[in-house]
Structure 1
Amino acid sequence: MVDVFGFTEETLVGEVVTRAAAVALSYTGGLFPRGAAGQVRYLHTVQALRSGFVHDGWTADDSDGVARTVHRGRGIAIVTAAGNELTGLPSHLFRKQPRTKWPRGEQTEAAVRTNVEQLSLFRVPGTAEVATPQVVTWILLQFAAETEVRSELSLPDHVDARGFVTHWSRRFILPPLSNEGGPDDDFGDEGGDIVIDVPEK
């Protein structure tokens, strides 16, 4: 991971995922509306990404209404999103990759198309011209289960007809955090029927 982003898994989890999850704990129960903890987790994930890595060349970019954290030198943008129950779990366990919790907008679809185009530049040797590289967009995906918060930093390469990101060309699965007593993500009708049985460590 460090060769791609310039930071380690431990730093990303400690500086971003853990901080955002800790704040979200304060927005569950009581008179807070349903989903408040998830919204707060998103907001503080974006803030922590920017504040934690600003000295390493990362900058904020809110153009087009999308909250990106960008490193121009590396040609990388990071956005954050909620994922489904397969988030943070190896694909080979369920023969299926995670998807975003909610459909994404046109900007995400455009970013994924750019990702695919950029990947193709490295897969077709012998081209006479080399196109100017564009920024590729990674998604910091998170899912709060009853006992743990799972997350991953992954490179999307497919958006389905409904607007969900459903496939990733590369995934950095991060160590889970304990979520005992914390807010969990309730999917309602979008949750699917996948039953996750995570073995004890």
Structure 2
Amino acid sequence: MRSNDRTFTEHARRTQIILAAIEVIAEIGYAQASIRKIAERVGVAMSVVLYHFANKDELVREIINHAWTAAVDAIVPALEMERTAAARLRAYILANADFIKTNRMQYAAVLDIGLSYRTADGELMDRLEMRPDLVAGLAKLDLAAILREGQDAGEFGDFDPARTAMAIRGALNGAVLDLVRDPDFDMDGYGEELVALFERATRRG
């Protein structure tokens, strides 16, 4: 059984493989991203990848943990600076737009995994095991909870928080392919448009 106390070199190699896998998945899709192609991107033998990751499922789990950790680290501080639900909604949209802009390949890979991935038992990506600290961090990014808080505080009008959160997330995710195809896509401007749109949609009265 492998020791949990990995050396610095092992950690660096694992990170290199994860980043290479993200690039390959973003470029050719999860279904086509074999261990062999990922190994070729790193410039190592398949056996090296399989030394660090027992199988593709384990590699996918670590890609998701890596991606969501980066998202939590980037977005949660922006939310914690705000004191009202309306301000947190604005911060959520703009921080997500900025994260997508600066991590477009990683985000594209995660979206593709979300659409295509199944474990051997048929489980979806969101059933993959995550670190407890990451689960706690993701809970702070619960957009539906922010919307419910706004309704309870009288800041927002009457709407379904879960469905509205889904619409906001869908609008953000929808820009990823445009950004991958066109690196000059104005994600900042798009984020501001979404803020204006959903401020109107959630406004009381």
TM-score by length of structure 1 reads 0.29
| Structure with greater helix percent | 2
TM-score by length of structure 2 reads 0.28
Larger RCO (alpha carbons 8 Å, 6+ apart): 2
Give the structure with higher Rg (CA).
2
